[in-house]
A and B are shown apart, each in its own frame.
Chain A
Amino acid sequence: MEAIISLLTNPYYIQVVTMMGIFLIAALGLHLITGVTGQFSFGHAAFLSIGAYCSALMSIHLHTPFILNMLAGGLMAALWGVILGFPSLRLTGDYLGITTLGFGEIVRVVFINMKITGGAGGLAGIPRETNILLVYIVVALSIWGIYRIQNSRFGRALVAIREDEIAAESMGINPLLYKIKGFALGTFFAGVSGALFAHLMQYLNPADFGFARSFEILNYVVLGGLGSIPGAILGTAVLSLAPEFLRFVKEYRMMIYGALMVLMMIFRPYGLLGGVDFVQLYKRLKSRRKAGPTLPGNMP
């Protein structure tokens, strides 16, 4: 019993699990964009950084309450999501990916050159507001919110766009409008995640939000299973905790991490939980019909 308590109060584990929760929120946002709507975004870290800097600057200069700053960070990220979305969501597939990649780099360079963000020297002096409880309350709200969005008329429209844009359009869905809405929602979660990140680290540097971070988050979503909320959660948990648990193997750590990703893609090409719908699985079990999880053939 004592061992469990000391385990739960170990600041190292708390730190790691808090960090995981923060990235989980960002991953859920990307899940909405890439998993549900099927739009590839390689610039997710840029929205994290917008939310992070916006909320941090509000905390430092305006001294407004943290919850407000966090929401403002999310809204600011969403605003930029809409601004970026209008021209770029007319593009599809690879082209959209490259546009978002470019946007991510632009944001990073802008933050490096701005005076108010502290430039390349970074922004210090952010108060510590993030704690594990707050992070997991936001995580719970995010999961609930995304689940509701995904299973609403709006969410089904997004899925329709993912499956076949032309067919969706012929059903009376305006793909651009829906894609922009989906994108804005996804970037909102990224902004909130960035705000929590900023108030946990208490120091921001544009170098933390390069495209390596964007790919990391994309990995969480893709390896967890595109289009599945439990997949995004599992992917984030496995991939953000793996580097910490693999610490004992020292230099081999990142090699095993890489091998893990390759293996996941070989044995689970649709991700760990790709195509597994827990609600349907539960219903099937209930009706005692014997059926294993089936992989959809039309996943992106």
Chain B
Amino acid sequence: MKKSRYLLLLVAMLALALLVAGCGGAKETPKAAGGDTIKIGFLGGLTGGHAHYGIETLKGMQMAVDDINSAGGVNGKKLEIVEGDHGSNSSEAANVTQKLITQKVSAIVGDPTTGITKSAAQICQPAKMVLLSAGAVGPGVVEIGDYIYRDTLLDAVAAPAVTKYLAEELKWEKVALVTTTGLSYSEGLTGIFKPALAKYGMEIVAEQSIMEKDTNFSAQVTSLRQKQFDGVIFTGYYTEGALFMKEMRKQGLNQVMAGGDGLLGKELYELGENAVQGSMVYAGFAVDSQTAAGKTKEFIEKYKAGNNNALPDMFPAQGYDAVMLLADAMKVANSNDPTVYKDKLAQTKDWKGVTGTITFDEKREPIKSPVYLQEVKGQEFVVKSVISIDK
């Protein structure tokens, strides 16, 4: 009995300590000063499975807010971020979205994933709240309504541009197309590549399908050996991509592959080693010390200074652009009322951000330029070409 009482005391003290620590953390954030600030909601996972995306996006947003505030704010008001962590859980995300709306934010930036963006959009649209996703690339997002936006590079924009580059610069004429069946990302990307390949006069001499988490591709590669082709278009993820290339080298095939940002991960060269040298991956943002200039260069330097010289990936860059896009739309509309400035946001044209130029088309889908085509060299991705998109 006595022992358990001590235990209870200990636990109570621990709880109190945590509570105090928690309150201490809360005090650090600037106090909301009524109508003098414009609140921007952040929706994303700071904990849980997608925590990396959320934390990085928030870093970029904070950098944008600091930049805007030091330049005098928007319409005479300072910006302020209201964090909404949903622990990478979609039912909690619905609660958080609702909470941000009741906290009277002027816009919500998030979520970095397509699935949660869609469920949040179902709440934002009827509540007349602008939701700008800094990461959703899947289909069916902006179709939910005219308050829903995103600032990411879409495969529908990037894949044709990359195909053109392969045809015109690298003189590819015949390709093998490899799809991961059952993976909606891969099937979707294959569906975009096929008409693009036809448009730029490339012939698909072989089509192979693989499954996610497959490790043995000898059958598919053996059938490719009988064909003549210049390269492989691979629409799946990096693990399968690396292993597929290894099998090709084992069977004496020397072609390289090209694919979308599903291949973008250090696992590609860690696992693929020599087999993936020269393979190409496109993405909406990459750190390229040669071509980076102006805003982009400033952003990279600032990020490095604040993060022990680590290089930013696309999430902080997209988070930064999201806040900047919203701020500019609010400035043009001279209002931070979502019902007013959302029309100005929709009219965004040739807007320059750190990830490139953004234009919203008539369906409010972003057209981003340029596309960064990167190539594996040694143990890193090196920018091979910066392809600008013509509208």
Contact = CB atoms under 8 A, between A and B. Distances in A.
Given A12-B102, A112-B182, A197-B91, A121 B47 contact: no
Contacts, number: 106
B294 interface: no
B75 interface: no
A266 B94 CA distance: 32
B182 A243 contact: no
A249 B22 contact: yes
Nearest to B46: A251
Contacts of A244: 95
Interface string A213-255: 0000000000000000000000000000001100111111111
A268 B70 CA distance: 53
A255 B89 CA distance: 16
B22 A15 contact: no
A10 B102 contact: yes
Contacts of B267: none
A265 to B, nearest CB: 12
A250 B85 contact: yes
A298 to B, nearest CB: 23
A109 B47 CA distance: 25
Nearest to A249: B22
Given A11-B102, A12-B99, A124-B140, A19 B183 contact: no
A263 interface: yes
A79 interface: no
Contact of B91 (A201, A202, A267): A201
Contact of A113 (B21, B118, B182, B185): B182
B340 interface: no
B184 A243 contact: no
A259 B140 CA distance: 40
A112 B85 CA distance: 26
B119 interface: yes
A12 B90 contact: no
Determine the main DSSP class of A at the interface with B: helix
B52 to A, nearest CB: 15
Contact of B144 (A16, A124, A253): A124
Contact of A11 (B21, B23, B26, B101): B101
Contact of A252 (B22, B183, B184): B22
Nearest to A122: B115
B102 A121 contact: no
A201 B90 contact: yes
Most buried by B among A112, A207, A255: A207
A121 B114 CA distance: 8
A69 interface: no
Interface in B153-194: 182-185, 188
B305 interface: no
A256 B18 contact: yes
B343 interface: no
Given A120-B184, A205-B115, A19 B25 contact: no
B98 interface: yes
B265 interface: no
B21 A19 contact: no
A203 B11 contact: no
10 contacts: A11-B101, A121-B138, A121-B184, A122-B114, A201-B90, A202-B122, A203-B118, A249-B23, A249-B25, A249-B26
Interface of B: 4, 7-8, 11, 14-15, 18-19, 21-23, 25-26, 46-47, 83, 85, 87, 89-92, 94-95, 98-99, 101-102, 114-115, 118-119, 122, 127, 138-140, 144, 182-185, 188
